[in-house]
Structure 1
Amino acid sequence: MINKEKLKKNLKLYLVTDSLILKDRDFYKCIEDAIKSGVTMVQLREKNLSGKEFLERAIKLRELTKKYNVTFIINDRIDIAMIVDADGVHIGQSDIDAISARKLLGENKIIGVSARNLEEAKIAKENGADYLGIGAMFSTSTKTDAKLVSFNTLEEIIKEVNLPFVLIGGITLDNVNELKKFNPDGYALVSGILGAENIGKRVEKWYERI
């Protein structure tokens, strides 16, 4: 079983990868800089890679996250999560459901589920999700098809569904204060970290802000 208190701590500053944002910069160095500066969880999400390339990245990131004792999550690809012995997976509404994921992964792996409304959040909990990724909170260039979650919907989910949760989608140092009142367990960031020229310094700024 997953230790919920430990999970909540690990969700605090949750980095989601997107190598397109990094352009020509060294992918592994950028992720390592973020980890060294305090990122608490890393999710490998690379929609534009082949299965082979994704696996190569997963193997290297598993080594890197183990070196720094940081929780490592794989987006969507349960098979690759199993191959590299990741700490868990994050699945969206169009992916394999949490019940099936649990059958494959067992009780000791983390399963996160994306939710945009109360019904999706309730089903995720019923199906055994360990945490929710709620969003998009603001419009985001990294997921152009993402539907925005209103603050009213967010309040409904928090009230009705007792699960650890992170907020995701277009969150920046300028707008994060609007989200603090909801007391999330953490923030999932893509360009909010990887878009910075100095990634280490950007992570430090996030800690000052949250």
Structure 2
Amino acid sequence: MKPFNYRLYLVTDEAACLGRDLVEVVEAAVQGGVDLVQLREKHLSDAAYLAKGLRLREMLDRYNVPLIINDNLKVAVQCGAAGIHVGNSDIPPTDILKRWTDCGTLGYSLELEEHLQSPSAKLADYLALSPVFSTPTKTNTVTEWGLEGISRIRSLTSKPLVAIGRVSAANAGDMVKAGADCLAVISAICSAPHPAHAAEELRNEIEKYSTSYGKI
């Protein structure tokens, strides 16, 4: 398991940017405190996905912020991403590590508590609990974890936990207190009038409660 020292994780959503340029929105978020970015494009061709990944990575490299690609091994390898994130119905981590021997960070979305004992979860560098609270940006989910779910999974694993699903400055502290090491955000940053300010507000809440609860 590789080190995972990130606090605020932006998952991109083109529609959530409300017509603004995705790379410009992500750059503002990074300036505000995002320290890890996942490009998630389920409906693009490989060529279009790669083009967007290369453009995003070029910007992120200037800030030394890693790029994670969602569920497309070919694009992840070709754009030189820092890692890949998959769910239970995507390419399994066992296959990823066979085909991409120098894979960096490997993330896995945990849908059910029993999946914690799966080979996929065991190979992952971090586990995403998705969603903590249901959200319209991701409709194919199985479990709404809630704060109790974060606490339960925290008690069962030492792996870094990423919480995603209606994360906001108002509930960020509660998620950290429940056991999340990192918070992943889509709309709260991508759709904010000022993405940099939204990211800064979230990051400040995470840092405040992470320090209080001994996570830093």
TM-score norm. by structure 1 comes to 0.90
Q: Is 1:189 aligned to 2:185, yes or no? A: yes
**Structure 1: how far apart are the matches of 2:204 and 2:29?**
15
**Aligned residue number for residue 210 of structure 2:** none
1:69-103 Cα shifts (integer Å, max 9, x gaps): 00110000011000011000000110011111111
| Residue 125 of structure 1: how far off its partner (Å) | 3.3
8 Å Cα contact 2:168/2:188 also seen in 1: yes
Of the three residues 28, 33, 36, the one matched with 2:31 is: 36
What is the 5 A alignment of 1:1-210? Answer: 2=2, 4=3, 7=4, 9-10=5-6, 12-123=7-118, 124-126=120-122, 128-147=123-142, 148-210=144-206
**Structure 2: how far apart are the matches of 1:35 and 1:153?**
29
8 Å Cα contact 2:110/2:121 also seen in 1: no
What is the RMSD computed on CA atoms of the aligned residues? 1.6
Gaps of 5+ in 2: 207-216
Aligned-partner residue type, residue 105 of structure 1: W
| Identical-residue share of aligned pairs (%) | 33
8 Å Cα contact 2:86/2:107 also seen in 1: yes
Gaps of 5+ in 1: none
**Structure 1: how far apart are the matches of 2:93 and 2:205?**
33
**Structure 2: how far apart are the matches of 1:121 and 1:87?**
24
8 Å Cα contact 2:18/2:191 also seen in 1: no
Equivalent residue pairs, number: 204
Task: Decide whether aligned partners of structure 1 residues 67 and 105 sit closer, same or farther in structure 2, where only a CA change above 3 A counts.
Answer: same
Moved beyond 6 Å, runs of 4+: none
8 Å Cα contact 2:169/2:205 also seen in 1: yes
